[in-house]
Amino acid sequence: MLELGSTSTTVVGVIAVIAALSLVFAMVLRRQVLAEPTGTPAMNDIGQAVQEGASAYLSRQFRTLALFVVIVFGLLFLLPGDSGVKVGRSIAFVVGAGFSAAIGYLGMWLAVRANVRVASAATRPNGKLEGARIAFRTGGVVGMSVVGLGLLGAAGVVLIYEGDAPAVLEGFGFGAALLAMFMRVGGGIFTKAADVGADLVGKVEQGIPEDDPRNAATIADNVGDNVGDCAGMAADLFESYAVTLVAALILGKAVMGEEGLVFPLIVTAIGALVAVLGVYITKVRGTESGLTAIYRGFYLSALVGAILAGVAAFVYLPSTFAELSGTADLGDITADPRVVASLAVLVGIVLAGVILWITGYFTGTTSKPTLHVAATSRTGAATVVLSGIGVGFESAVYTAGIIAAAICAVFLISGGSVWLAMFLIALAGCGLLTTVGVIVAMDTFGPVSDNAQGIAEMSGDVDEEGAQILTDLDAVGNTTKAITKGIAIATAVLAATALFGSYAGAVQEALADVEEIGGGLVSSMLSYEIISPITLVGVILGAATVFLFSGLAVDAVTRAAGAIVYEVRRQFREHPGIMTYDERPEYGRVVDICTRDSLRELATPGLLAAFAPIAVGFGLGVGPLAGFLAGAIACGVLMAVFLANSGGAWDNAKKIVEDGAHGGKGSPAHEATIIGDTVGDPFKDTAGPAINPLIKVMNLVAVLIAPAVVAMSAPADANPAVRIGIALVAAAIAFGAVIASRLRAARVDREQTEAEEASVA
| Nearest in space to 245 (alpha carbons), one of 306, 173, 311, 307 | 173
Query: What was the pLDDT predicted at 346?
Result: 93
The ranges assigned to domains in the chain are 6-280+289-760
pLDDT tens, residue by residue, 129-163: 888 888 888 888 888 888 888 889 888 888 888 87
Bigger pLDDT: 161 vs 505: 161
Q: What is the pLDDT of residue 472?
A: 80
Average pLDDT over residues 656-679: 87
Sorted by sequence, the CB contacts under 8 Å of residue 632 that are 6+ apart come out as 496, 542, 543, 545, 546, 694, 695, 698
Most confident of 98-107, 442-451, 541-550: 541-550
pLDDT recorded at residue 397: 92
User: Concatenated DSSP letters for 538-594?
Assistant: HHHHHHHHHHHHHHHHHHHHHHHHHHHHHHHHHHHHH-GGGTTTSS---HHHHHHHH
Q: For residue 327, what pLDDT is reported? A: 72
371, 372, 377, 379 alpha-carbon torsion, rounded to 10°? 150
Q: Are 503 and 479 in contact (CB under 8 A)?
A: no
Residue 227 identity: V
**pLDDT range class, residue 376, cuts 50, 70, 90:** very high
Strand partners, 715: 517
pLDDT band at 540 (very low <50, low <70, confident <90, very high): very high
Mean pLDDT computed over every residue of the chain: 84
Of 741, 628, 595, 544, the residue nearest 52 (C-alpha): 595
Q: By the 8 A CB rule, do 274 and 304 touch?
A: yes
Chain segment 260-296, per-residue pLDDT in tens: 888 998 998 898 888 888 888 877 776 777 777 778 8
Per-residue confidence (pLDDT) for residue 320, from 0 to 100: 86
Q: What pLDDT is attached to residue 546?
A: 93
Give yes or no for residue 622 having a pLDDT over 60. Answer: yes
**What confidence score (pLDDT) does residue 539 get?**
92
For residue 35, the Cα-to-chain-centroid distance in whole angstroms is: 30
Residue 343 pLDDT class (50, 70, 90 cuts):
very high
Please check the confidence at residue 486 and state whether its pLDDT lies above 90: no
pTM, entire model: 0.85
Mean pLDDT of 358-383: 89
Give dist(CA 539, CA 520) in Å, integer.
Answer: 21
Distance CA 487, CA 327 (A): 32
Average pLDDT over residues 21-27: 91
The Cα 194–Cα 217 span in angstroms is 6
Q: Which residue has the higher pLDDT, 17 or 604?
A: 17
